[in-house]
Amino acid sequence: MDDKKDEVYGDHISHKFNDELMELKAEFLTMGGMVESQVENAIQALVDGDGHLAEQIRLNDKKVDRLEVSLDEEATLIIARRQPTARDLRLVISVIKMVADLERIGDEAKKIAKVAMTLAEEGHAPRGYVEVRHIGVHVQTMLHDALDAFARLDSTQALRIMKEDKRVDEEYQAAARALLTFMMEDTRNISRCMSVMWVLRALERVGDHACNIAENVIFMVEGEDVRHTSVEEAERVVTG
Amino acid sequence: MDDKKDEVYGDHISHKFNDELMELKAEFLTMGGMVESQVENAIQALVDGDGHLAEQIRLNDKKVDRLEVSLDEEATLIIARRQPTARDLRLVISVIKMVADLERIGDEAKKIAKVAMTLAEEGHAPRGYVEVRHIGVHVQTMLHDALDAFARLDSTQALRIMKEDKRVDEEYQAAARALLTFMMEDTRNISRCMSVMWVLRALERVGDHACNIAENVIFMVEGEDVRHTSVEEAERVVTG
Q: Tell me how far apart the alpha carbons of residues B24 and A25 are, in angstroms, rounded to a whole number.
A: 28
pLDDT band at B11 (very low <50, low <70, confident <90, very high): confident
Segment A95-114 shows an average pLDDT of 98
Quick check: A86 and B66 CB within 8 A? no
pLDDT band at B9 (very low <50, low <70, confident <90, very high): low
B178 touches chain A (CB under 8 A): no
Q: Tell me how far apart the alpha carbons of residues A13 and A22 are, in angstroms, rounded to a whole number.
A: 14
**Residue-averaged pLDDT of chain B:** 95
Angstrom distances, CA of residue A22 to CA of A17, B27, B231 = 9, 34, 35
Interface confidence, given as ipTM, is 0.94
Element (H, E) at A226: none
Alpha carbon of residue A229 to chain centroid: 20
Element (H, E) at B84: none
User: Vertex A29, ends A26 and A32: CA angle to 5°?
Assistant: 155
Going by C-alpha positions, the residue among B50, B101, B53, B92 that lies closest to residue B73 is B92
A72 touches chain B (CB under 8 A): yes
Q: For B190, which of A65, A89, A184 is closest by C-beta distance?
A: A184
Report pLDDT digits (tens) over A30-80.
999 999 999 999 999 999 999 999 999 999 999 999 999 999 999 999 999
Q: Tell me how far apart the alpha carbons of residues A157 and A214 are, in angstroms, rounded to a whole number.
A: 8
Residue of A nearest to B75 (CA): A93
Phi, psi of B230, deg, nearest 5 = -70, 160
- The domain tally of chain A equals 1
pLDDT band at B7 (very low <50, low <70, confident <90, very high): low
Q: For A225, which of B69, B80, B187 is closest by C-beta distance?
A: B69
Long-range contacts of B190-194 (CB under 8 A, 24+ apart): B190/A180, B190/A183, B190/A184, B190/A187, B190/A190, B191/A180, B191/A184, B191/B122, B192/B119, B192/B122, B192/B123, B192/B124, B192/B125, B192/B126, B193/B125, B193/B126, B193/B127, B193/B128, B194/A180, B194/A183, B194/A197
Chain A residues within 8 A of B79 when measuring between CB atoms: 79, 89, 93
Angstrom distances, CA of residue A21 to CA of A25, A95, A158, B108 = 6, 10, 21, 35
Full DSSP string of B4-48: HHHHHHHHHHHHHHHHHHHHHHHHHHHHHHHHHHHHHHHHHHHHH
Report pLDDT digits (tens) over B120-129.
999 999 999 9
CB A36 within 8 A of CB A144: yes
Q: Tell me how far apart the alpha carbons of residues B45 and B61 are, in angstroms, rounded to a whole number.
A: 15
Q: Which CATH number covers residue A188?
A: 1.20.58.220
pLDDT at res. B1: 41
Q: Is residue A5 predicted with pLDDT exceeding 60?
A: no
Quick check: B187 and A187 CB within 8 A? yes
How far is A106 from chain B, CA to nearest CA, in Å? Answer: 13
Q: What is the domain range of residue B178? A: 4-239
Report pLDDT digits (tens) over B19-28.
999 999 999 9
